[in-house]
Copies of this chain bind each other. A is one copy, B any other.
Amino acid sequence: MENVGFIGLGIMGKPMALHLLKAGYTVSVLSSSKAADELAGAGALLFPTSRELAQTSGIVITMLPDSPEVEEVVTGPDGVLEGIQPGSLFIDMSTIAPATAVNLHRKLQQTQVEALDAPVSGGQVGAEAATLSIMVGGSAEAFERALPLFRAMGKNIVHIGAPGAGQTTKACNQMIVGMTIQAVGEAFALARKAGVDLEKMREVLLGGFAQSRILDLHGKRIIDKNFKPGFKIKLHQKDMNIALQTGQQYKVPLKGTSLVAEQMNTAVTQGHGELDHSALFLLIE
C-alpha cells in the first residue's frame, strides 16, 4: 500500500484522512494543522512542511478551501513541488477553478508527477460516512492507481475525462444545485403568499417533472425554516464564481448561474453567508 500525504484537515478533509487510516494506509499530515493531534492519535505521521510530507508520500492529496490555497501549497516555498518524487501521484480533491487544475496538472507533469482533479459532492455527511461522489479528471492510469483510496472515501466514483474534467463537472453540479434552490425558493415563496400548504405542494410536485433532490431535502428545510448548514451560502458563492469564470473562458452565456450568484452575493451582504444555501429563500419570501 502506498504512503499517502494528506493536506487540509477541515470538516471535509479530517474524516476523509481518517477513512484512509482505517483502510490501512500510512497517512502523513502537517503538524501545523488543527486536527494534527487527533490524526496522530489515530496513527498518522506528522511533518512540519508540505515539502517534507511530499518527500515520503507516493500519493499526495489536498483538500483545501479554494484555488489560491491549493496553488500556494503546491508551488509555494516548502511546497509539494519541492519535495514530491518523480513517479508520485498528486490528487487535488478541493473544489477549484478547472483552469487552475489544468495548470497544476501541467506543472506537475514537468517533474514526472501525474495529477488528478477529484472534487467531491456530498458534504460533511458524505465525508464522514465515506459516501462522497467523486468526479475525476486525469489519465486512466492515474485514476486506476487512485481508485482504492477513492473507494475508502466515497461511493459514486466516476472517471469523467481529461485533466480539469472533474472540476468542470463539479462546477456544473454547483450551478444546477444553486439554480434549483432558487427555483424551489421562488415556488415556495409564491405558494406561501398565496396560502397554499407547502407540505402538500411538495408532496404532489415530488411525484412529477418538478422532482429533484433539492425539492425533497431543501424544500423540507424551507418548510421547517431550518437554515443551519449543511452547505454555507458563502462557500456556494465561491463555486458559482468558478462556474462564471469558466463560462467566460469558454464563451458560454450563463444567465441563470449569474443571477443566482448575485442572489448569493446579496445574501452574504445581508449577513446570511454562514447559513445553509437553502436560505436563498429568505431573499424571495
Contacts and interface: CB of A to CB of B under 8 A. Distances in A.
B190 A171 contact: yes
A189 B252 contact: yes
Given A169-B205, A172-B205, A186-B255, 20 more contacts: A133-B208, A158-B204, A165-B197, A168-B191, A168-B196, A169-B196, A169-B204, A172-B187, A172-B196, A172-B210, A173-B187, A176-B212, A180-B210, A182-B255, A186-B252, A194-B250, A209-B214, A209-B217, A212-B212, A212-B213
Nearest to A126: B208
Interface in A242-285: 243, 246-247, 250-257, 259-260, 263, 283-285
A162 interface: yes
Nearest to A254: B186
Nearest to A262: B255
Contacts of A186: 175, 179, 247, 252, 254-257
A156 interface: yes
A122 interface: yes
Contacts of A213: 208-212
24 contacts: A156-B204, A158-B200, A158-B203, A162-B195, A165-B197, A168-B190, A169-B204, A171-B190, A172-B190, A172-B196, A172-B205, A173-B205, A173-B209, A173-B210, A177-B209, A177-B210, A178-B183, A179-B256, A186-B247, A186-B252, A186-B256, A190-B254, A193-B252, A212-B212
Interface in A71-128: 98, 121-122
Contacts of A211: 212-213
A161 interface: yes
Chain copies in complex: 2
A184 interface: yes
A4 interface: no
B133 A204 contact: yes
Range class of the A interface residue count: 35 or more
Contacts of A152: none
A134 B211 CA distance: 15
A185 to B, nearest CB: 8
A207 interface: yes
Contacts of A179: 179-180, 182-183, 186, 256
A84 B243 CA distance: 57
